[in-house]
Every structure is written in structure tokens, then in C-alpha cells.
Amino acid sequence: MKNDLNHIGAGVIKRKDLDLRAGDTVRVSLKIKEKGKVRLQAFEGLVIAVKHGKEAGGTFTVRKVASGVGVERIFPLYSPSIDKIDILRRSQARRAKLYFIRDKVSKEISRKMRRQRLVKGGAETDDTNESEIEATATAATEAEKIAEEALA
């Protein structure tokens, strides 16, 4: 069975000219039907993969971080439930698929979580103790004072 674009509307066909690449930041407006009404819901994030290009079965994957949790959605390029696709920012990527971003973000989040636990609990984790934290805080305030004096 061959995929073709004959059954798709004219507005959706315009997406064939859309130059969507990995690394672009996009906003996808989706048509959501609730209680007989149709509303638009935006999903904004980074395109991490484009599969099958501009052919009828082409898809693209968008990733965003919401409340510290990574969310990925795979959209068919010619889906009638997509109202429009806005390219907000273009970035040049050296890879066709940016799957490594998943691990990078999770490592940064886990590192931040460790620091938050340290401050909340006050326990000695990650080989730091309260005296080191206090020393870092005093050094930061001293550095701010020196910077203010240099500007004055």
C-alpha cells in the first residue's frame, strides 16, 4: 500500500514547503475537540528528529521540559489535527537526530535535585558539609562587595 497526499486538504499540503530540521525550536498548534468545541493547544519545544522527510508518512519529534520533566511528542507532518507549525528559532545542529539531548537534560536535572536535597535536609551528601556551604556563601558575598567597590 502506497502513501499518497491526495486525500489531504490544501492547507496541509503547504507543509511540504516547510523546511523543518533537527535543532529548530517550534510551536505546534493542535486542534483539540472537547465537549463539541474545538480549541487550539500549543506545544512548544525543540525538534530532535525528523523522519521520512516530506513524504506522506513523515513525522517529527518535539521535546520540551515541563515542570522538570521531559515531554516528547511525535507529530505526523501532514496530520489534519495540526492547525499550524511556527518555526520560532533556527539552530544549526551537527547531527540529524538529537537524541543525546535526553541524557544531557536528565543529568543536569539530577544534579540540581542533589543540590536541593542538600540544602533542604542539611545532611552531608555529595562530600559537602555545612562549613563548606557557609564558606562558599561568605566568599560569594565578599566577591560581590569587591565588584561593587571596583565599579564605584
Pairing of strands 59-66, 82-89: unpaired
pLDDT, tens digit, 9 for 90 and up, residues 88-144: 988 888 889 988 888 886 676 666 666 655 555 555 455 556 666 666 667 666 666
Cβ-contact 61, 98 below 8 angstroms: no
The larger pLDDT score, comparing residue 3 to residue 54, is at 54
Which of 9-18, 59-68, 142-151 is the most confident on average?
A: 59-68
C-alpha R_g of the chain: 23
List the domain boundaries for the chain.
10-98
Q: What share of the chain is helix, strand, coil (3-state, %, to 5)?
A: 35, 30, 35
Topology of the domain comprising 10-98: SH3 type barrels. (2.30.30)
pLDDT, tens digit, 9 for 90 and up, residues 7-46: 666 666 777 778 888 888 899 999 999 998 999 999 999 9
Q: Look at residue 127 and give its three-state secondary structure.
A: coil
- When pLDDT is cut at 50, 70 and 90, the band that residue 152 belongs to is low
